[in-house]
Amino acid sequence: MATKIRLKRMGKKFYAFYRVVIMDSRTKRDGRAIEEIGTYNPNTQPSTININSERAQYWLGVGAQPTEQVLNLLKITGDWQKFKGLDGAEGTLKTVEAGPDAAARVEAVEAQAQKLKAAKSEADAKAKAEAEAAATEETPAEEPAAEAE
């Protein structure tokens, strides 16, 4: 039986999510798989690639042929280089940087909002003070002119 390592499409319309699967080469794209060895999500930034390296090495060792798309994924994760014995077996897989947890993000946004409110109220108070100062300057200037007559 000729086996292939290929992508099985999942997800919604215009929001594809793929599973990396081992299939008989004669089965349809989304048909029954022999084994699922990983996932590929192109919708995240950067794309998420999770492949069980041990199982990929096994299937490549017994003669399963990867499709062109899966071959590119295996090169990114470094599994293809490991199988062929080439340099660069660590791969070029980029991972999402771990950011602060949700509570910390909410706290940061609230602190930013408080800073904006404080700056706005300070600007309003300053504008009010300038308006009062301008009003007091105009009043004494008019009174001496009235006395001079």
The pLDDT score that the predictor gives to residue 137 is: 78
DSSP 97-123: PP---HHHHHHHHHHHHHHHHHHHHHH
* b (16+ CB within 10 A) / e for 93-120: beeeeeeeeeeeeeeeeeeeeeeeeeee
Mean of the per-residue pLDDT values for the chain?
Answer: 85
> How does pLDDT run across 119-136, given as a tens digit for each residue?
888 888 888 888 888 888
pLDDT at 96 over 80: no
**CA 58, CA 76: separation in Å to the nearest integer?**
18
User: What backbone torsions phi and psi does residue 147 show, to the nearest 5 degrees?
Assistant: -70, -30
- State mean pLDDT over 105-110: 86
Q: pTM score, two decimals?
A: 0.62
Rounded to an integer, the average pLDDT of 102-113 is 85
> How much of the chain is helix, strand and coil, in % rounded to 5?
50, 20, 30
Residue pair 76/93 in contact by the 8 Å Cβ criterion: yes
> What confidence score (pLDDT) does residue 8 get?
93
What pLDDT is stored for residue 138 in this prediction? 72
Give pLDDT, residue 133. 85
| pLDDT tens-digit map of 40-82 | 999 988 889 999 999 999 999 999 999 999 999 999 999 999 9
pLDDT of amino acid 55: 93
